[in-house]
Structure 1
Amino acid sequence: MPLLPRRFERLRSVLNQRMADLTVLVEHVEKPHNLSAILRSCDAVGVLEAHAVSLSGRPRTFNSTAQGSQRWVPLCDHPDVTTAVQHLKAQGFKLYGTNLGVDARDYRACDFTGPCAFVLGAEKWGLSETATALMDQAVFIPMRGMVQSLNVSVATATLLFEALRQRQTAGLAPSHGEGIPEDRYDDLLFEWAYPQVARWCREQGRAYPALSEDGEIIEDLPRTARLRC
């Protein structure tokens, strides 16, 4: 079925507000509810993609809490936290790890307007020692009750929305696609609009067709590809 113009405009509007310089790295967060809620918060704030280091042999699953967010926020896998951190730092991210150590700063006192990645561990044991040692800055969320920490998905949402608030206040929250590298925008829009055709193009080793202003595929594709629309 052809993509309706209003659907295409909705996809483009959401993509225009995505931020490639804001992300999350979760270490050994395996519970489907938590992973699902984290990706839902990423989608709500405008995170382009998230990252994960998973326990070996644990298949990843999502539940209804995600509300389909895993379709819009890819979760990039890394074999270990050192590799994940190196990958993010090579892209210019500053890493903020949740920790209650003496060097940790109140998250509200940090500047999240530049490229930043929030790194969180599983609720039960938090970040590993290896991950903690690799962080640029430890942060904490002040608690006023008997419990010293939030659920990992709630903590993620708190940090992400603070980053968004700071960027909106500074006039840095994207609204016209400026939060995405120029050379990636058209491909991402095509993948969102026509995921099955995009998969076919990748299998064929060919570039994505151009789209009209209303989201129609301009190129005359083979019948096998058109059936994927």
Structure 2
Amino acid sequence: MGWRQTTSALSKKEQAALLEELLRTGVMAEEDRLLFAMLMPDRVKRMQDVLNTRTNHITVLTEGVDDPHNQSAVLRSADAFGVQTLHVVEGRAKFKPNSIIAKSADRWVDVVEHASIEEAIDQLKVDGYQILATALSEEAIPLEDVDVSKPTVLLFGNEHHGVSEQALAKADGNYVIPMQGYVQSLNISVAAAISLYDVTTRARHIVTEGYGLSIEDKQRVFKNWMVRSLPKRSLGVYKQKGLNAFERETGKSE
């Protein structure tokens, strides 16, 4: 057949129930049965479990973060805390995460690149988000006071210069992570991890409807995950049998 499956921990009955549930809930389209058949059911079940924790209620926007280590760490934190989308405005360096540091998070998190910080903030506001920048100022509120009942973007700036004046002017406000020591700043990767842990933990308990992904986003993300999980040999088979759906659905080529 062009691919090989090893033994699954799921029984045949459990595999059939998993397939039926994915189709019934709309997470998987009927046309994607081929993908399901090409993957270990245990892997598909894991993807389903993770997908059910994903959110776009909270998202991240980075502005001019140049260090690949920091790019990768923010991406990894987004994945760890269930944030599905990372918005990026490049600085002097291209957004090119280090795969070792990212731990393959770039396979599971959607990255949206914007031409400018103004365009990014304007678009996110149109999408219904409040924009909160990390910045030390008299108006800054403590992280724990961020209103997570609203769809929220956490904005992080360049490693050396922070969030730009243009971004601060367009943001809805700014916040700080309260600290007790002499040093009153954190590396962006650490600040992002602390911030995401706090806001996603609180939002999951506060937002009863709309925290998880929409069914349309679930279906799109789930299909992308299945395609990206295929071994190279299986991917070749899928490209033949799936009518080059890999490029069509994900915008990527092997």
Same fold (TM over 0.5): yes
Q: How does 1:81-100 map to 2 (within 5 A)?
A: 81-100=117-136
- Tell me the distance in 2 between the aligned counterparts of 1:57 and 1:36: 13
Contact 1:93 1:116 in 2 (8 A): yes
Displacement of 1:8 after TM fit? 0.3
- Is the helix fraction higher in 1 or 2? 2
Corresponding residue to 1:201 among 245, 251, 254: 245
Deviations 1:81-100 (A, max 9, x none): 00000111111011110111
Residue equivalent to 1:223: none
Please state if 1:30 is matched with 2:74.
Answer: no
Q: Secondary structure at the match of 1:160?
A: helix
Residue equivalent to 1:189: 222
Displacement of 1:182 after TM fit? 1.9
- Stretches of structure 2 that go unaligned for 5 or more consecutive residues are 4-37, 229-234
Identity of aligned residues (%): 32
- Tell me the distance in 2 between the aligned counterparts of 1:202 and 1:192: 11
Change (3 A) 1:199 1:40: farther
Q: What value does the CA root-mean-square deviation take over the aligned residues? A: 2.4
Residue equivalent to 2:9: none
Q: How does 1:143-154 map to 2 (within 5 A)?
A: 143-154=179-190
- Tell me the distance in 2 between the aligned counterparts of 1:24 and 1:57: 19
Displacement of 1:72 after TM fit? 0.6
Residue equivalent to 1:70: 106
Corresponding residue to 2:157 among 84, 98, 121: 121
- Tell me the distance in 2 between the aligned counterparts of 1:144 and 1:79: 37
What is the count of residue pairs matched by the alignment?
204
Give the structure-2-normalised TM-score.
0.74
Residue equivalent to 2:192: 156
Contact 2:66 2:92 in 1 (8 A): no
Contact 1:112 1:163 in 2 (8 A): yes
Q: Secondary structure at the match of 1:50?
A: strand
Of the two, which has the highest radius of gyration?
2
Give the structure-1-normalised TM-score.
0.81
- Stretches of structure 1 that go unaligned for 5 or more consecutive residues are 209-227
Residue equivalent to 1:42: 78
Q: Secondary structure at the match of 2:156?
A: strand
